[in-house]
């Protein structure tokens, strides 16, 4: 487990200076501030951090890296889950899983080394938060540690990658399952995205047969052949990113029904067609892959 104590660097991996202001287009520091970061005092670094939000706003940069250590990030994730202060989302635009307790339901949270795991009625979540992980905010700072800010937990693109399935793929037994009583084969639905994969854990039956019959066919082509069977069977949905996974159980609502309270998923082909990894107002710098997004309650 990380034991970082120094004030972190605001670097986001974009090291290009704006010609007008002289500030970095990724972190909003000046050339001299970047060069002196390691040798200056903590109070100097804190003063630079305090200047960055206004500079980033002037530059028109949407996201700002938070001055959190790895331990700070892990602690925020665990506390937000335990207190139910918002919703955690994994996936890409049009194919996501959302984790938040339904009203009146509790969340159990465990932290073991780098791993944060949470369970609530109808769902489970796991994130692996190590030094490859960065936290960015997309809103102005608040007085309560940014508890009301939208936050992205991102992972260095060069450090972690997901297997990319270009068609429906039977992955076999799910050895990473968080809901132990649930069994079956894990099928990647073949979205062909590097940021996330949308899977279902299916027991033997009509839904599994329908998926087997469209093996290797891309999602958009295969959906008409298996969609109704998945809707009827409502198997466990598993959405994975380079950060971890969210598992969701319970009935899949019909298109004209509202999403249930508590953990649920969205799989919307028209939104998938945008090929956006994150919402348009939450863009991530290219050196990162999205791990999870936090929306405050």
- How confident is the model over 101-108, as a mean pLDDT? 95
- Which tokens in the block code for residue 162? 């997901």
**Lowest-confidence segment of 61-65, 90-94, 96-100, 172-176 by average pLDDT:** 61-65
What average pLDDT does the chain have? 91
pTM of the prediction? Answer: 0.88
For position 143, what pLDDT does the model report?
54
Q: How far apart are CA 7 and CA 49, in angstroms?
A: 10
Query: What confidence tens digit (pLDDT) does each residue in 144-165 have?
Result: 554 468 999 999 998 889 999 9
**Lowest-confidence segment of 16-25, 57-66, 85-94, 181-190 by average pLDDT:** 57-66
Tell me: pLDDT of 141 over 80: no
Q: How far apart are CA 191 and CA 283, in angstroms?
A: 20
Instruction: Return the SS3 of 82.
Output: helix
- How confident is the model over 134-147, as a mean pLDDT? 69
The pLDDT-based confidence of 53 (bands split at 50, 70, 90) is confident
Q: What angle do CA 195, 202, 190 make, to 5 degrees?
A: 30
The pLDDT-based confidence of 3 (bands split at 50, 70, 90) is very low
For position 140, what pLDDT does the model report?
64
- How confident is the model over 68-97, as a mean pLDDT? 96
Tell me: pLDDT of 182 over 90: no
Q: How far apart are CA 222 and CA 213, in angstroms?
A: 9
Residue 135, beta-bridge partner list: 153
Q: Is 12 exposed, middle or buried (0-12, 13-18, 19+ CB in 10 A)?
A: buried
84 and 207 Cβ atoms separated by less than 8 Å: no
- Which tokens in the block code for residue 167? 């068609």
- Which tokens in the block code for residue 124? 């489970």
The pLDDT-based confidence of 248 (bands split at 50, 70, 90) is very high
Tell me: pLDDT of 179 over 60: yes
The pLDDT-based confidence of 4 (bands split at 50, 70, 90) is very low
- How confident is the model over 218-236, as a mean pLDDT? 96
For position 138, what pLDDT does the model report?
86
Tell me: pLDDT of 27 over 90: no
Q: Rounded to whole angstroms, what are the CA distances from 30 to 48, 55, 190?
A: 10, 10, 44
As a whole-number percent, the residues of the chain with pLDDT over 90 amount to 71
Half-sphere exposure in the Cβ direction for 140 (13 Å, CA): 4
Of 40, 34, 3, 4, the closest CA to residue 16 belongs to 34
Tell me: pLDDT of 122 over 70: yes
């Amino acid at each position: 487990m990380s034991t970082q104590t120094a004030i972190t660097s605001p670097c986001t991996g974009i090291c290009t200076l704006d010609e007008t202001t002289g500030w970095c287009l990724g972190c909003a520091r000046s050339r001299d501030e970047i060069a002196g970061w390691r040798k200056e005092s903590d109070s100097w670094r804190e003063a630079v951090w305090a200047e960055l939000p206004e500079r980033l706003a002037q530059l028109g940069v949407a996201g700002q890296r938070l001055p959190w250590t790895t331990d700070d990030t892990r602690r925020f994730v665990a506390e937000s889950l335990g207190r139910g202060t918002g919703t955690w989302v994994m996936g890409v635009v049009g194919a996501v899983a959302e984790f938040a307790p339904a009203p009146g339901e509790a969340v159990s949270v465990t932290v073991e080394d780098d791993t944060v795991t949470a369970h609530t009625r109808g769902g489970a979540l796991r994130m692996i938060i190590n030094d490859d992980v960065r936290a960015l905010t997309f809103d102005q700072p608040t007085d309560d540690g940014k508890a009301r800010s939208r936050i992205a937990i991102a992972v260095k693109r060069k450090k972690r990658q997901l297997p990319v399935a270009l068609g429906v793929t039977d992955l076999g037994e799910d050895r990473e399952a968080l809901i132990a009583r649930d069994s079956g084969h894990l099928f990647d639905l073949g979205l062909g995205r590097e940021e996330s994969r949308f899977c279902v854990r299916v027991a033997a039956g009509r839904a599994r047969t329908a998926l087997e019959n469209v093996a290797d066919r891309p999602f958009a082509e295969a959906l008409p052949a298996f969609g109704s069977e998945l809707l009827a069977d409502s198997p466990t949905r598993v959405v994975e990113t380079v950060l971890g996974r969210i598992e969701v159980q319970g009935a899949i609502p019909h298109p004209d029904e509202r999403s249930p309270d508590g953990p649920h998923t969205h799989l919307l082909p028209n939104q998938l067609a945008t090929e956006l990894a994150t919402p348009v107002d939450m863009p991530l710098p290219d050196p990162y892959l999205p791990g999870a997004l936090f929306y405050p309650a």
